[in-house]
Homo-oligomer: A and B are copies of this chain.
């Protein structure tokens, strides 16, 4: 019976986190009161404090839930892929899936309220974020070492990857004209294949206009 109650409490708490995440997402952390969170959960404020110590604890728990979902649904799924390029491509696909799907609220809060947490709680979340950056840098470095990609600066490559993926929450509309699958497919190709025309287009066709013949030369000429 005790464990049944613990189970109930944990499910209830999960529902509280879900509701709190929705409110904080809409109004910001500063703009959301514990009173409003309690009301949205159909609880009294005292009832809410039975589950959580204070508002900062709630924010930390939302971020931890989001980081946990990310680690489970993205990082753990790709970590063991032997080829670094396939690892990175699959990682981008799964991360886009997470950002465009059910965990978008938690992701937005992790990104937008990054400076709200303090002390150990902040250091703990920051450490988990840094592990992801390191994983991306290491994968890009490995791909360069293996000759799988041209030499790139791994930190810039890692943060370009992250910028593309995490910016999605600013513009993607789940019911918009682009599907999550389209965004994911296009974005993986953009970073990993780039914008240069496919190799076949680089072979001069007789009589073809000059501009279409030198896509990569024109793109890379001045750098």
Q: Please give, as numbers and ranges, the residues of chain B lying within 8 Å of A196 by CB-CB distance.
A: 149-150, 192-194, 196
Is A98 part of the binding interface, using a Cβ–Cβ cutoff of 8 Å?
no
Closest to A183 in B: B156
List of B residues within 8 angstroms of A216 by Cβ:
193, 199
Q: Which residue of B lies closest to A114 (CB)?
A: B170
The verdict on A185 contacting chain B, using a C-beta distance below 8 Å, is yes
Chain A interface, number of residues (Cβ within 8 angstroms): 62
Please judge, given known A-B contacts A166-B167, A211-B146, whether A220 and B195 are in contact too, CB under 8 Å: no
**Contact between chains at A220 and B192 (CB < 8 Å):** yes
* Cβ contacts A201-220/B at 8 Å (1 or 0 each): 11000000101100110111
Chain-B contact segment, one of A14-22, A55-63, A64-72, A83-91: A83-91
What are the residues of chain B within 8 A of A168 when measuring CB–CB? 159, 163
Shortest distance in angstroms between A107's beta carbon and chain B's nearest beta carbon?
A: 14
Q: Which residues of B contact A170 (CB under 8 A)?
A: 114, 159, 163
Contact with B along A134-161 (1 / 0, CB 8 A): 0000000001001111101101110110
Cβ-based interface call for A115 (8 A)? yes
Contacts of A114 in B (CB 8 A): 170
In the complex, A31→B113 CA distance in Å?
13
Pairwise interchain contact B211-A148, C-beta atoms closer than 8 A: yes
Q: Is A39's CB within 8 Å of the partner chain B?
A: no
Q: Say whether A189 faces chain B, with CB atoms less than 8 Å apart.
A: yes
Bound complex: CA of A155 vs CA of B112, how far in Å?
23
Give which listed residue, B186, B194, B212, contacts A191 with CB less than 8 A: B194
For chain A, residues 154 to 182, give those with C-beta under 8 angstroms from any C-beta of chain B. Answer: 155-157, 159-160, 162-168, 170-171, 178, 182
A118: CB under 8 A from chain B? Answer: no
A168 and B158 CA atoms in complex are apart in Å by 11
Chain B contacts for A146, CB-based, 8 A = 211-212
